[in-house]
Structure 1
Amino acid sequence: MVPPPAAAARRSLSLDHEMFLDFLVLVLSCLPCVADRESFASVCTLWRRAAGLSDAPPLPGQLPWAIFPSATAVSTVFSILSASSRRIYLPTELVGARFCGSHPGAWVAATGAGHAPGGGNVAVNILSREMVPLPNKKLVPLSRRRRAIELLEGEGPEPWISQRAMKDVVVRAIAFSDAPNSPDCVAAAITQGVYQPSVALCWLGAETQHWAVPWWIPPGVQDLVFLEGGGSMRPSFYLITSWDFLFVASFVDDEQIMVHNCKVQWPADDMLPTLPANVYTSRYLVVSRGRLLMVRRYYSYSQRDGTHQTMLFRVFELQNQTLESWLELGSLDSRALVLARCSSRAFELPAANSEIKPGSIFFLDDITFGDSVAATNDKQYNPNDMSVYYKDEPGFTWPHLCSNLFGVKNIVAFLKHEGKMEIMLFENLQELETYVGDKPIEVEIKGCIRRFNWQQASKCPTPIWFAH
């Protein structure tokens, strides 16, 4: 029996419908970013159904976004996975503020937030809009001698605390042991010092909040990170200094902080002495696979115009639970790093995602991060050193980094001539070959760098990574 024409037409439409759904699922598999998936699902009912199918490809592990600040509520975020930028409406508290930290789960810390209570330091959840005020005062400790005298005189803790001075604190960068709205969260901050950066800790769940500082601060603190089980029953933060010394800071009780040296055996920097005098280093700490990584960032500095340019990265891993020594890693395997003061993260790249080069290091222009804390309405920021670095052959093509947010690829080359070492950037191999010419120069290619295309001078501070 031949089916009626209307029934045959419905069956044909049903087949076409299912075939189109299969096609949409195929398209969905090419969208690794959660923002792209949400945009896909918002097109229409059919596309939303495709996104919700049980056989739809699961989302790979997400990489963070970079939030570019704005003087208004409308800001810009950049997704590494999709290499695309999107508009985002920031909470009122973050308008015009300087980002100084982040935490997984959509938390961003800011200072100078004009609409935030308590002096402008605040942690805000970008997605839920939940706000956690951060203190703007630090409790200056008495000297050890004065504290010992008070204890001998039998004074209790309350008179001792009441005599301690409360002073304003200027936050450079903040790390969190947990989500800021957790009652067990401890915040650790690198603060502005007169001669050097200082360190302060705060129990965010305490009834009275303030930053507590230790009696003694190691000089030249450049970064800090929270590490679970860092040798103390209380939350512990590791600090790294400009002299490559590693320290641990943690609460002794609700008011006192202890900082002790880990006494890690550190090999001398065998590379820096061979480089030109205008090349310097900066350091970051990252937790990856339960271990502590230290990243050295090599950059050149121009005395003429005050600009700097990152050239190279080296990654070291802390060996053994006894904190005995560091070992340089020749490869990050399937990992990518995103670097920011107190907010660096390591991410495992899914095997199915071949667009992000394993071993890539994304970094911000925060080498001189302390210079921007005293910003005024006329302050000009010059974020000219935000890039991605990766070790690979110069001919490697990264499809996602062809967006207009990235500039041309630069080859990092070491040039050795008559016992002198030089580090330079070249746009391609032809430019490198032309520069070398017939001169007896030894050439070693160390990697590639692609820089963000970003406004060179702006009243908006540099961005921060947003781990959603």
Structure 2
Amino acid sequence: MLRAREPCSPWSDGLPPELLDTILRYLTCLADRVYFAAVCRVWRSAAQVHKAPQCHLPLLLLPSPAAPSFLSLHSGAIRRLHLSESVRAARLCGSHEGGWVVLASDQWRGYAAVNLCSGAMVPLPDRLRIPSARGRIDTTCEYHMVIRTVTFSGTPSAEGCLAAAHVSSASNIAFWRMGMERYWLARRHDVVDVIQDIIYYKEGFHVLSSTEDVVVYAPKGDLLGMSHTSYLMQKRTDYKPDRLLPKGHSVSRYLVESRGKLLMVLRLFGPKQQRHFRIFEMNLAGGGGGSGASWVELHALPGRALLLGRGCSRAFEVSQFDTLRVGSIYYLDDASFNLSLAWSNGSRYPSTFMGVYDFHKTHNVMRHYPRESTSECSLPIWFIP
């Protein structure tokens, strides 16, 4: 007589813990681990026990009011990102470690720092105040402002957090601290003419200009007082002002911290969309401000890869990530984008110059990295879990 066959358990439940642990070791992308944990209870328990990597690569956030998504540099996969309607349609203008992004819910107002992982939100003002020459603040005089990019000194929700914003208004740079609910505070003097990038580095906001000079703003006192140091960099021998570049050529500049040093990355565009990158390291051999500082060119990027983005550039050690290759430079289409043109064009943001550049020219670039995208709300941005 045939015996009744016992029902088989799902194949996922039958995998030994040792195999699940091996799989998790190769899932260095946080998103991949989330999908792994969603398979079943056994896999979820294994993911909770297995220690996740301490350092994560940023995700490339691809905004869309209808179907936002993100690209994982680990796997090359593009996945849907489930966000609330107000966040999906927002313009993104900054990011910070721990899942934070800065957004404008109505393109030029409704600013807030939002944590896409936890849902936490920190409202940011949309007005600007400028102190007088004596440092007094006229509480009756406020300016409208449009935020282009925001850089934080730390977690946006933490007490004592500071933020610097590249803005379009009566000033082009403004500062904010936790507790300031009504306005940003601008600087009247030492305003950089054309801001290229801002980074928080060694207890101060470093602001890079189109002339490749640097102004450092550091907090002082309990209120939002900011000391400033200007570095008029010695001009490199082949430097040319942007207005004197040959027809069809342009350059954009980024600041990146790498191995305790401050780097300036130049992205150069030529005719027929030719791209070229140069990397310089800030040298303060002269000490202090003034003209003693200079940019020293680096002709190699040993052991590192760069991810470029306004206010959110990062350098990573290739030894920590199997998917990164030495000398790879991932860049976004945020070099010279004109917000006013986007708004006049129905708030469409075409991105046609994204890509991966091989600084050492020793390998092929990633094929799955998107070269272009178009969104009705925002340019792509690096999202750091």
For Structure 1 versus Structure 2, the TM-score category normalised by the shorter chain is 0.7 to 0.9
The 1:211/1:272 distance shift into structure 2, 3 A limit, reads closer
Give distance in 2, aligned partners of 1:94 and 1:106: 14
Offset, 1:95: 2.8
Contact map agreement 1:32 1:60 (CA 8 A) in 2: no
Contact map agreement 1:214 1:258 (CA 8 A) in 2: no
Alignment match, 1:97: 90
Give distance in 1, aligned partners of 2:176 and 2:81: 30
The 1:378/1:282 distance shift into structure 2, 3 A limit, reads same
Kindly indicate whether residue 229 of structure 2 is the aligned counterpart of residue 260 of structure 1: yes
| Aligned counterparts, 1:46-445, within 5 A | 46-51=42-47, 59=53, 61-72=55-66, 74-111=67-104, 113-114=105-106, 119-142=109-132, 144=133, 147=134, 160-162=136-138, 165-193=141-169, 198-206=172-180, 208-216=181-189, 217-229=191-203, 236-251=204-219, 254=223, 256-269=225-238, 277-300=247-270, 309=273, 311-320=275-284, 322=287, 324-351=293-320, 353-371=321-339, 375=343, 378-393=346-361, 396-397=363-364, 401-403=366-368, 406=369
Kindly indicate whether residue 381 of structure 2 is the aligned counterpart of residue 464 of structure 1: yes
Give distance in 2, aligned partners of 1:390 and 1:125: 33
Instruction: Specify the SS of the correspondent of 2:310.
Output: coil
The 1:242/1:377 distance shift into structure 2, 3 A limit, reads closer
Task: Supply the AA of the counterpart residue of 1:264.
Answer: M
Contact map agreement 2:304 2:327 (CA 8 A) in 1: yes
Give distance in 2, aligned partners of 1:166 and 1:203: 17
Computed over aligned residues only, the root mean square deviation of the Cα atoms, in angstroms, reads: 3.3
Give distance in 1, aligned partners of 2:138 and 2:380: 39
The 1:372/1:269 distance shift into structure 2, 3 A limit, reads farther
Contact map agreement 1:135 1:211 (CA 8 A) in 2: yes
Offset, 1:458: 4.0
Structure 2 segments unaligned to the other structure (5+ residues)? 1-8
Contact map agreement 1:377 1:459 (CA 8 A) in 2: no
What whole-Å deviation, never above 9, does each CA across 1:402-437 have from its counterpart, x for those lacking one? 43xx3xxxxxxxxxxxxxxxxxxxxxxxxxxxxxxx
The 1:209/1:272 distance shift into structure 2, 3 A limit, reads closer
Range with greater deviation from structure 2 (379-388 or 314-323)? 314-323
Task: Supply the AA of the counterpart residue of 1:290.
Answer: G
Give distance in 1, aligned partners of 2:341 and 2:186: 19
Task: Supply the AA of the counterpart residue of 2:264.
Answer: M
